[in-house]
Homo-oligomer: A and B are copies of this chain.
Amino acid sequence: MPYKVLVIPGDGVGPEVVEAALYVIKAAASKYGVDLEIKTAEAGDAALRKYGTAMPPEALKLADEADVIFKGPIGESAYDVTSLIRMRYLLYANIRPVKNLPGVPAVKEIDCVFVRENVEDVYVGAEYRVGDVTIALKVITEKGTRRVARVARKYAEMRGRRVTIVHKANVLRVVDAFFRDVAMEELRGLEVDQMYVDAAAMELVRNPKRFDVVLTTNQYGDILTDLAAQVAGGIGLAPSGNIGDSKAMFEPVHGAAFDIAGKGIANPIATILSAAMMFEWMGRKDVANAIRVAVEKSIEKGIKTPDIGGDKSTIEVGKFIASII
């Protein structure tokens, strides 16, 4: 049975980086014998303009049928596509590994994995306006916290190291304290520490090496992972996987970057490394590693985009990596 992969190219630089990654995905699948059935769907700002909805019924149907979604960045309508997919399929753990790549200038040395809760927090979309007052609900549940904490446990056991729970329980004494306490319980037996989110932002610049597995809520994770990616050498390199119990979605951490769209200069590495995570999720760590090695080789050989000091195009990088896999 082939894996049903739905590709959503997305907006801005999305179609370019996804095209580059597809060279790699196809080369890897054929070389390593992974059976993929790839379909494509339009979703995002362009779909909104064209069909009046950012996630057209056709895209939704294909997403429902797919085993896994491989997605480029979405523009202004990201909540209607990215967040919708995360919530509809309960992709409750957003895995964002952050690690320097050899040959890429970085702010500091860093090697950690963020496990970001992905379907609760202020992201649930429960917002109200009453006259000149607006209110959004920040929701944290026991079930939601336990399941994502179990994912953090898995990563900590794999890496044999510590989990840092990031929260703001000194101010959010009910919800953030609940997240911390339930997570603590779920992580019992492991080495666990905790940090306030403001201090964590600072530490990610001051001493990022102190982080290993970071478990945090949805919005703190959103903010800290962009920051951490920048510390590691730039948002053009940061992959992610949105994982549920039966489905998953892989996508670069970066956004649509409309300012450089169509210029062929967007770095496809974040998207290509997201493809590596997808193969790992399929149980093919060998393929994932082959892609990672090929990415490192391409950088070593200078086949890289301008953001990391090269002069190659998005597609050239993708094709090169595909060719040496």
Main secondary structure of the interface of A (DSSP, over half): helix
Q: State whether A222 touches B198 (Cβ < 8 A).
A: yes
Contact for A135 among B138, B170, B226, B255, CB less than 8 A = B138
Compute how far the CA of A134 lies from the CA of B201 in the bound complex, rounded to whole angstroms. Answer: 25
**A137: interface (CB < 8 Å):** yes
| CB within 8 Å for A134 and B170 given contacts A107-B107, A201-B226, A202-B230 | no
Contact for A223 among B122, B170, B201, B229, CB less than 8 A = B201
Which chain B residue shows the least CB distance to A196?
A: B255
Cβ proximity bits A114-127 to B, threshold 8 Å, 1 near / 0 not: 00000000110001
**A173: interface (CB < 8 Å):** yes
Compute how far the CA of A19 lies from the CA of B157 in the bound complex, rounded to whole angstroms. Answer: 47
Q: State whether A223 touches B198 (Cβ < 8 A).
A: yes
Which chain B residue shows the least CB distance to A179?
A: B134
Residues in B neighbouring A76, C-beta threshold 8 A? 170
| CB within 8 Å for A127 and B201 given contacts A107-B107, A143-B132 | no
**A292: interface (CB < 8 Å):** no
Cβ proximity bits A8-38 to B, threshold 8 Å, 1 near / 0 not: 0000000000000000000000000000000
Residues in B neighbouring A230, C-beta threshold 8 A? 201-202, 205-206
**A139: interface (CB < 8 Å):** yes
Copies in the complex: 2
Point out which of A134, A204, A225 has the most chain B C-beta atoms below 10 A from its C-beta. A134
**A158: interface (CB < 8 Å):** no
Cβ proximity bits A169-184 to B, threshold 8 Å, 1 near / 0 not: 0111111001000000
Compute how far the CA of A129 lies from the CA of B173 in the bound complex, rounded to whole angstroms. Answer: 11
Q: How large is the interface on A (under 10, 10 to 19, 20 to 34, 35 or more residues)?
A: 35 or more
Contact for A79 among B129, B139, B173, B225, CB less than 8 A = B173
Q: State whether B129 touches A174 (Cβ < 8 A).
A: yes
List residues of A (220-236) whose CB comes within 8 Å of B's CBs: 220, 222-227, 229-231, 234-235
Which chain B residue shows the least CB distance to A207?
A: B230
Compute how far the CA of A231 lies from the CA of B175 in the bound complex, rounded to whole angstroms. Answer: 30
Residues in B neighbouring A127, C-beta threshold 8 A? 172-175
Q: State whether B137 touches A141 (Cβ < 8 A).
A: no
Compute how far the CA of A279 lies from the CA of B114 in the bound complex, rounded to whole angstroms. Answer: 43
Q: State whether B223 touches A205 (Cβ < 8 A).
A: no
Q: State whether A202 touches B175 (Cβ < 8 A).
A: no
Residues in B neighbouring A170, C-beta threshold 8 A? 76, 78-79
